[in-house]
Amino acid sequence: MRWLRENWLDFLIFLLIALVAAGIVLYLTGINPFSRPRVSASPMPGPSVTSSPPPSPVQPPKGEPAPQAPSPEPVVTVLPLPQAPVESKPAPQEKPIASPGGSPPSAPAPSAPVPGGTYRVAVGAFANPENAARLRQELAQKGYPARLEPSGNLTRVVVGPYASEAEAKRAAEALAAYGAQVYRGQGAAPPASGTLYLQVGAFQKEENALALAAKLKEVGLPVVLVKDGVYRVRVGPVAEEDKEALKAKVQALGFEALEVR
């Protein structure tokens, strides 16, 4: 004790140094000697909610009106409304409008033609067989039984034949944008009594027939096309007095001419 009384200052400094060193060690190791031990909660079957008693109303000071408690907000349950039935209305059908300078609008294809029918619908006649072939192909792509027939020195585009005039008229109404007209013919082609043509060639492919037609037109021959299963290239109509001269002209080009009526 005598030593402690004589060296109490040194002992106090040593004690402070020791406490500081111990604190540094505890800080580095993450040990907090002042923290309370955690009590592990035992697993419960479900969360227990302890209802606390409502707080007692605060008494206002004397002379002031008592505050009114806010009214509880009502709970509104929103139910989905049933969807009203929608009446299905048929869509209005648009009428085809023929644009100026463009191709006529497409129309529904008429009923199937009858091979032995006598009524036909003339859609157009052209001096250039290429234009007639182009229109025939356009109608065929729309489902019409289109064909090519001679009409004098023109190539006529025809739809049909039909067994009755009523069927032909329905087809003509559908093709009214083309200026279609109904006429009555006999057999596989319209009547052409005494009309003579010189058939120069018959082809399965349209481009071959058009190439021959262009070559004949270059030398000034009137050319028509006939489409009845194959493409037939014909020169005419030919008068009897000009028949031999036209035959010689065709043979000079390297082709044979067959007389057809």
pTM score over 0.75: no
What pLDDT is attached to residue 116? Answer: 54
What is the rounded CA–CA span in Å between residue 206 and residue 208? 5
The pLDDT of residue 63 is 56
**Domain boundary, last residue among 157, 184, 211:** 184
Structure tokens at 92: 């209005």
Tell me which DSSP letter residue 260 carries.
E
From 184, 214, 230, the end of a domain falls on 184
pLDDT digits (tens, 9 = 90+) for 122-164: 999 999 999 999 999 999 999 999 999 998 889 999 998 888 9
Task: Count how many domains the chain has.
Answer: 2
Domain-terminating residue out of 184, 212, 233:
184
Q: What is the pLDDT of residues 212-241, one digit of tens each?
A: 999 999 988 899 999 888 999 999 898 888
- Domain membership of residue 124 (yes or no) is yes
Kindly report, residue by residue over 183-221, the tens digit of the pLDDT.
887 544 444 446 889 999 999 999 999 999 999 999 888
Output the DSSP codes for 99-144: PTTSPPPP----PPP-TT--EEEEEEEESSHHHHHHHHHHHHHTT-
Domain carrying residue 245: 197-260
Using one digit for the tens of pLDDT, what is the confidence trace for 21-47?
888 888 888 776 666 655 554 445 544
